[in-house]
Chains A and B, each alone.
Chain A
Amino acid sequence: MPGKLKAKIVAGRHLPVMDRASDLTDAFVEVKFGNTTFKTDVYPKSLNPQWNSEWFKFEVDDEDLQDEPLQITVLDHDTYSANDAIGKVYIDIDPLLSCEAATVISGWLPIYDTIHGIRGEINVVVKVDLFNDLNRFRQSSCGVKFFCTTSIPRCYRAALVHGFVEELVVNEDPEYQWIDRIRTPRASNEARQRLISLMSGELQRKIGLKVLEMGGNAVVGYLQCFDLEGESGLVVRAIGTACTLDKLIPGTESKEPVFSEDPPHPLSVPPTPLRTLPSSSSPPPFSPSKPCSRQSSSSDTDLSLTPKMGMGSGISVGKEAGPLKTLLRQQAQSALEQREFPFFTLTCFPPGFLVHIGGVVSARSVKLLDRIHNPDEPETRDAWWEEIRQEIKSHAKALGCHAVVGYSESTTICEEVCILSASGTAAMLNPRFMREGSVCVYSRFDDASPPSCGFCHIPYDEFNMPFPAQLTYCYHCRRQKVPDVLFTTIDLPAEAAVTGKGCLIQARLCRTKKKAQGEVNATAISNLLPFMEYELHTQLMNKLKLRCMNALFGLRIQISVGENMLLGLASATGVYLSALPAPGGIQITGKTPSDLSYDQHISTMQKRINDTIAMNKELYNIHPLECIEEVVGSPIPDRQRSRLFRSTSESSDELSELDLSHGKKDAFVLEIDDTDAVEDIQSLLTDAPMPAGFYSCNTEVMPGIYNWTSGLQMFTSVRVYRLSNANLTNQGLNKIFTDLCENLLKSLYFKLRSMIPCCLCHLNFTVAVPEEELIQVRRHTPKHTSPILYIFPKNILVRSGENEEQLQFSMELCGESTSSNNQPTAKPSVSSSERCSPLPEVRSRSLRSTRSLPCGAPVTVVKMTPLSFLPRTRIVKYLGIINMFFIRETTSLREEGGVSGFLHSFIAEVFAMVRAHVAALGGNAVVSYSMKECVFMENPNKNQAQCLINVSGDAVIFVRESDQEAIPPLIMSGQPSTTGADGTT
């Protein structure tokens, strides 16, 4: 009996009226944990009951503590009939099980009902007394810390990074059990919520055990997903990176090198090359003024070959992908080799951790869910994932890398077809982080590659390249080879040298497919996938060139299946890495040069493209050191360069003659004869530029902008479109899809126009094509009645969830950021007044509130952000992981304002519940927040809708940098709740 859980029900407020006659409620509370239930007294005739109950004590195993949620049900007492449930609160006890996280959960929590939404609030206090259990064979893993953050958490130091942990649990979905035919929707929803809560508890416990086995004490980059497989079950799976973390003593971390990478610190940020080159602390061994001349590197990239660059040999659906080169560098670390999967879910690393990056590796596989032999057991799914991971591993090897970083897994399910996807970035890591006893991890890696470019250097053998690419000497250090473009799934390393600013780049694609069943369907999808990946890649490459950039970070490719179409959406942040060669322009050629009007058409297109490139250069402030290059000759002897791969495609000859505008630089050729190419060009040029004052990216930090303010605003936006049957062609669909995405972005810019200058960070798009069956709510509706919808009842759900809005002060020139580093120049008065004003303001308000409102305790402001940090603040404590799952259903859709009104209030409710739980833990922010799942189903004819949302994040306490000196003593004295006094907004 190693744990005692204590709960106390204090009071309720804003309860709904349950008795129409008296307009009041006779409320009481049931507190349930495991199979034990306690009840409070009935507090008669009040909407603001004061129960002030005794402490309800549950003596339980710590295994149960990890698995079970504390379940609080508020009911209305009824003498004559059954008591009516008002709503429930599920409390995850997990944060209380680690001594370093929260110690108490205390505060107002919304009472939630799956049919009515939030119905008042309840004030509870929950504590846990843990007894030490030294049993070696224990099943629990209390004390292992979990972080959603995909970097080493800010107030910890990574002593050791152990590696990949994964787990998967399966259960029957209550929604598909026979009993669901007779129980109420509410009971069914609650059963589902409870089950998922239990399963994620179990999953976390099992992962924790694995971590303990490995000798770690924490999981970083914890990513948990649900697969609603329907009939075959409900899968909850998670991956993460096991680490041993040491807590830093508050106040000293600024001296720790790990945190010097902190992007919001303008001081530690890599300045633009303009400034670094002459004054860098680790000057490149070659003089910076000796880059190779452009003439000599004028080999061009063949269109048809380039896609392999980013993808590795990514596609492997039913057929073997690409020739795998068993090309392993001699320095492969034994530490990593021992591991089954040298994968890391981290996207941001301590300095020195990342040595080289190979490129993106990805694998997809199409599976049929109805072929699972024993659906209730996890074996089959385990085997599926095992397969995919093996493939990723071999792709990484082919790229000469021994590890995969920024690793993630996802699924998309359409009826019985399920696509499993995994992707990551092949990389070489510094083995010191993986070895036992490597305390001095911060000593510079002896390879001595400058940190600002070292990661770009190729890990593979240049004579034995896994794919044709064009290599040049690094433009930064001149010593090692770099590829011409670099695609990755990780965040831009903080020490990387960047020219200009970054921007969001998206590739969008729609492909129709025949409606089919079972194996035929799966084969059709498998056959389409490689083409989709290829086209997405081409689009990305074109858009990258058009913006005059040479690297992509945070690449996420999502492919979703619908009944008769496939959707692909790739998002990434484009950057100009100073170490990589300047990208060539885009060249359009036609195959029928005889036609004069055709020529004209081409040249106007070419002109538009060239204009766009020039404009983008200005927009993103990309001005590489070209002039210097021309003055000084090539530092690299010719015989070395002769080894470079040269593509000898037909177009390269043409190019030298047709080269109109980009001098002798290599260009990217688009042949216009191809209908695909026309489409490509169309999509290239239809991308509307961002309005002035806006920046957007899908990574944690915006490359090239370092002067953040602490004002941030997280939002979620969901859109559903219904396609009419008229648009059946690929082109038509593509256009619609692109327009939808563009319009969504436009809407966002418009909404946030009052915050200019601002940057949309961590812009995370999710698309889905809800299947026909799911458009109808629940299984009670066998037939769809509306004939128009029945023909092509396809919804595209474009969710740009987790969009992050950040106010920041714009800088005219990047070069200035170092000179005026700590205070923004644009509007300093505004920012300072914002920071100073809260105190007097609060005081005047509280004066007033003392005489005005009795229940006016101010609500703690809780910030939510998908980033792992809050700019200009310091996280002083991690309080535990937030992982919540909600179902909301309505049978009065019209009355709730239609689908939009329904979903709007549900999302607002989810936010409110997350905030309330964080506040109850004593926190004032959620970092690494993400809305993992948002499944929406509706049946307007029946006036019904249902929505499932899963959110996760890390609850933290942060302090503003200005008042951090005052705060640490408070933390030490164990009053975390008092630190929530950040007063602003």
Chain B
Amino acid sequence: MSMELDVFVGNTTIMDMEVYQLWLDGLTVSDAVKVRMDEGALLECEANAEVLTSDTMDQFRTFQMCERLLHSPTKLGSQLLYQIPAQNQRILIERYYEFDSVFAREVLGKKLSKGTKKDLDDISCKTGITLKSCRRQFDNFKRVFKVVEELKGPLVENIQRHFLLSDTLARDYAAIVFFANSRFETGKRKLQYLSFQDFAFCAGQLISYWTVGAVDVWEPNDPDMDVDLEKEFLHELKDLKVLVNDKDMMDQHKILVCAALRGKIKVYKLMEVNFKNLSRALINLASKLTHTKDVRDLFIDLVEKFIEPCRYDRWTVAEITLFLTHYTNAAHCLGTFRYQMIWDRYMGVIKSCILQMYHE
């Protein structure tokens, strides 16, 4: 005797969110049954293995049939095939689009094309996330990217509108889209210690302060206002070079910073010695950002030129905070420095990025 067919259909679609998670994790039916047994599902309602298998198969089939709708979440609300309560719809969508940050870290900044998909096997091996789940997450990234790529207007709002995601999740997706669009280098060994959250934070900063949408009121003609950095701003950053090229100004800057920090940080001596190198690193970084290649290397440059020297000298986060604050503020006191606005816009983002990326 064998079961040929086993179907359970409710007028209101019944979904077990725990099983949904197992499905999202890419488990096979038999693995999912094992997990559920280990979690004690058999103790409920005098179930046996057969009942559990049947239930799991059924739920998996339901999710599989809903998956098509989850690809365009707005359709889920207007489709007639499954009657799913609004609350459950929201959970279905949110969970479907949730991702493992370990996975996201791996594909961050990479081109979301078919070529990368072949690498999913490697990522799956490396992270221990099932291939099926990797594929789902990758396809989600790609899908969101494709939809918002062509759209105008604020990135996070666009994502929310088309995929009905929560605010936090939409912001994470914005970061992924932003990184994929600008193709920031994140894969170098020196950057390996940084988590997805570190990069997502930096992306948020860049989106908020360095893109077209950051300063301007949104205009219909602006293309990709959130996705691309503002060209004009990057061009103006060249002007900051004066801070290292003008020897008087550089000395003056150093004196002001040293005066402010004397006795306040333990690494004062080292700072005094290294000031010119550190300042030069930050200013050179700014002036190079007109080249796409250098924009991509933004994070690796920050690590190599600033964070690593500081870490070598065993700066604490507090010391870096103090240094960057005074370094930024001191420039305002330089009588001949005229680019205060640009300076603040640049240093604000750099400072918060460095602080996020600096792991003691």
Contact = CB atoms under 8 A, between A and B. Distances in A.
- A and B assemble together: yes
Interface of A: 13-14, 108, 110, 118, 121, 688, 691, 694, 713-724, 727, 736, 743, 746-754, 795, 841, 845, 849, 851-853, 855-859, 861-864, 897, 899-901, 903-905, 907-909, 911-912, 915-916, 936, 985
Nearest to A689: B46
A17 to B, nearest CB: 13
Given A747-B55, A750-B44, A864-B11, A936 B81 contact: no
Given A721-B4, A746-B47, 5 more contacts: A715-B10, A747-B8, A855-B74, A857-B78, A903-B5
B14 A713 contact: yes
A542 to B, nearest CB: 23
A904 B1 contact: no
Contact of B80 (A121, A694, A714, A864): A121
Interface string B1-42: 111111111111110100000000000000000000000000
A753 B3 contact: no
A716 B8 CA distance: 6
Contacts of B161: 851-853
Given A716-B9, A719-B5, A719-B7, A904 B51 contact: no
Contact of B78 (A13, A750, A909, A936): A13
Contacts of A746: 45-48, 51
Contacts of A118: 80-81
B10 A713 contact: yes
Contact of B82 (A721, A722, A754, A908): A908
Which of B2, B46, B57, B82 has most chain A Cβ within 10 Å?
B46
Contacts, number: 161
B119 interface: no
B277 interface: no
Which of B9, B47, B61 has most chain A Cβ within 10 Å?
B9
B45 A715 contact: no
B182 interface: no
B76 to A, nearest CB: 10
Contact of B50 (A717, A743, A855, A911): A743
Given A715-B9, A905-B65, A852 B55 contact: no
A941 B79 CA distance: 34
16 contacts: A716-B7, A716-B9, A717-B9, A719-B5, A722-B2, A722-B4, A747-B51, A748-B8, A855-B74, A857-B78, A859-B80, A861-B83, A897-B61, A899-B5, A900-B5, A907-B7
A720 B61 CA distance: 17
Contacts of B62: 904
A719 B51 contact: no
A721 B45 contact: no
Per CB-CB distance, the 6 closest pairs between chain A and chain B, nearest first, are A720-B5, A715-B10, A691-B45, A907-B9, A720-B4, A985-B85
A753 B58 CA distance: 15
A751 B8 contact: yes
Give chain B's interface residue range (CB within 8 Å of chain A). Answer: 35 or more
Nearest to B47: A750
A736 B3 CA distance: 12
B12 A713 contact: yes
B16 to A, nearest CB: 7
Nearest to A754: B16
Contact of B65 (A13, A720, A856, A904): A904
Contacts of A853: 74, 77-78, 161, 164
A851 B13 CA distance: 28
A118 B75 CA distance: 15
B160 interface: yes
B81 A912 contact: yes
B74 A714 contact: no
Contacts of A863: 11
B169 to A, nearest CB: 15
Contacts of B47: 746, 750
B14 A936 contact: no
Contacts of B83: 859, 861-862, 911-912, 915
A736 B160 CA distance: 53
B54 interface: yes
B152 to A, nearest CB: 15
